[in-house]
Structure 1
């Protein structure tokens, strides 16, 4: 349940600067990196990255999320100057073109520079744990902030994948993180949470979290769900008889997961294939709208079951 000290009434206007289409938002992934797990190197130069961001927006992305450091399992960190060089020119040009842009970073200087360049949201996979200055930075910037459940850097995350009850553990760890963030000045009405699918979690744990989004929603914060092309999707396809499917072949399955997440109450899904993701959340919105009035829809308090 939500920590009483963090309890605040919330309205869509409190996430100022983000679109409000009346359905789950779709965040398009833009990896301005040479080494991301499924599309590394495709958009490593500024021109191709900017063109890709404009394409994602034209395909219907509500937000384009620009990242300059791969966070796949085993990825090595990049230097601060390199991350700035990869991302800030891209953020600036997309913002100038009117694209709602976010910055995917764990580093306060990158977050600060991106907001100054026009980013409307900071998406931090570490939830402020990787850089102690992040909380004060986003508090001063006064922009929406995604805090993901995170236990360790990419090189170490797979060694931290043990849980008792993964839903209870993630809830408890996010609650602790929320209190630390708000104690450092982050406005709770600006915070979104991400359960961190695939980060220090084995595939069966990812499915359990997805099936219990309602429990995570009881913390009282909008949820961002990032499942696109991840290992747990590939594992499910393999066990279902589809064989080994490489990351870029998992977009249809990702869309199915996006629909499940949207029905489960996700505020936003983060995807590589925007068109498929948008179709998925539109179907989820239509389903929820047409649930029998006399029955409680899945996602409105009842848990999804895998």
Structure 2
């Protein structure tokens, strides 16, 4: 069974007592749950009637509903990233910094130039990015696997410079050796498109380091980020996969409070799957972890805008980022930092004003 927060409201003020609940300790309030299951159940339960509905449900369904409810409404703990604290009571921007020759959008921009790459990362942090996501291997469809030694040589000099400048850094990699090298160089977070399921040592490295980790969904991570053979229900299938993966990673020694989840927009998914995941993103708060959305400049935008090339997808990227924060995403991973930060600041201003309106 699944609970998805719906009927978002500007403010709980003026509603009956208990008529709206705060989503994950953030800036959104919701007034109902959409309840679904694999057998075709679909109903809406107002939150003020939730306890009564649970009380009349079978014991196993009631226990599951209470578990999801606790996860959805619990504030997300902050993450310590170096000298900074990443709070999730408001949306945060993760900036993409690739040091690859072949990434789909910005490949080649910083190859062989660690100082220039680090300067670009510092500029993105100054523009409002809370975290710089540093990647040395392209994950675009058809990209060749990079030898870990080459990947380390690409990311370590940049990570060292960024850390020395006081910038919070995540390393975007599937490989344990790269994780180790980047963390030793000053990176603070691991962001793995394979959810620690590609490299057999990856889970142990993250657990031993105690660092936060982003677990992204892809259908068959051991085969590559774009493998897989489709979905019965993309939203529920991805939720189930991430829920199982979170439990495995916790059992492997990673603190649940340090796990972020990402539904993996564009990874082994058709356009319809991606749209369903964005529209239903609030469901993933039932995992009890901060939710990250990475849709910047992706194929979903080109498919909906006359095949606009990657460098002409700013409007769509900002639209998807705002769609994410409107559904409670705590992190949006983007190329266009200044524009996205500005959009989120305006969004936040509107939320603040709605909460104090009379």
Say yes or no: does 1:149 pair with 2:217. yes
Partner of 2:80: 16
Secondary structure of the structure 1 residue equivalent to 2:80: coil
Alignment counterpart, residue 329 of structure 2, candidates 266, 275, 279: 266
Kept in 1: contact 2:76–2:89 (CA 8 A): no
* Cα distance in 2, alignment partners of residues 158 and 224 from structure 1: 19
Moved more, 114-123 or 17-26: 17-26
Alignment check: 8 A CA contact 2:216 2:264 kept: yes
**Among 35, 39, 55, the residue aligned to 2:106:** 39
Number of residue pairs the alignment of both structures matches: 288
CA distance in 2, matches of 1:202, 1:102: 28
Structure 2 residue aligned with 1:93, among 157, 161, 167?
Answer: 161
Give 2:45's aligned residue. none
Offset at 1:47? 2.3
**TM-score, L = length of structure 1:** 0.87
Instruction: Tell me, yes or no, if structure 1 residue 257 matches structure 2 residue 320.
Output: yes
Pair 1:222 & 2:286 matched: no
Are residues 10 and 79 of structure 1, via their aligned partners in 2, closer, same or farther at CA, if it must alter by over 3 Å?
Answer: farther
More strand by share: 2
Secondary structure in structure 1 of the residue aligned to 2:132? strand
TM-superposed deviation, 1:23: 2.4
Which consecutive unaligned segments of at least 5 residues does structure 1 have?
239-243, 295-306
Superposition RMSD in Å: 2.3
Q: Secondary structure at the match of 2:102?
A: coil
| 8 Å Cα contact 2:79/2:87 also seen in 1 | no
Q: 1:202 to 1:14 in 2, by over 3 A?
A: same
Deviations 1:56-97 (A, max 9, x none): 112221111100000011111100100000001100110000
Aligned equivalents of 1:210, 1:106: Cα separation in 2: 24
The Cα shift of 1:211 comes to 0.6
Distance (Å, rounded) in 1 between the aligned partners of 2:245 and 2:95? 26
Give the aligned partner of residue 66 of structure 1: 134
Match of 1:185 among 236, 239, 253: 253
| Residues 1:161 and 1:197: Cα distance change in structure 2 (over 3 Å) | farther
Task: List per-residue Cα deviations over 1:154-180 (Å, max 9, x = no partner).
Answer: 986555251111111001111111111
TM-score normalised by the chain length of structure 2 = 0.75
Higher Cα Rg, which structure: 2
Deviation at 1:14, TM superposition (A): 4.3
- Go from structure 1 to structure 2 and tell me whether the alpha carbon gap of 1:153 and 1:72 turns closer, same or farther (over 3 Å shift): farther
Contact 2:197 2:222 in 1 (8 A): no
Q: Are the aligned partners of 2:139 and 2:225 in contact in 1 as well (CA < 8 Å)?
A: no
Q: Deviations over 1:194-227 (max 9, x none)?
A: 0000000011111110111111111111001000
| In structure 1, distance between residues paired with 2:102 and 2:123 | 21
CA distance in 1, matches of 2:187, 2:226: 31
Picking from 247, 255, 276, the partner of 2:339 is: 276
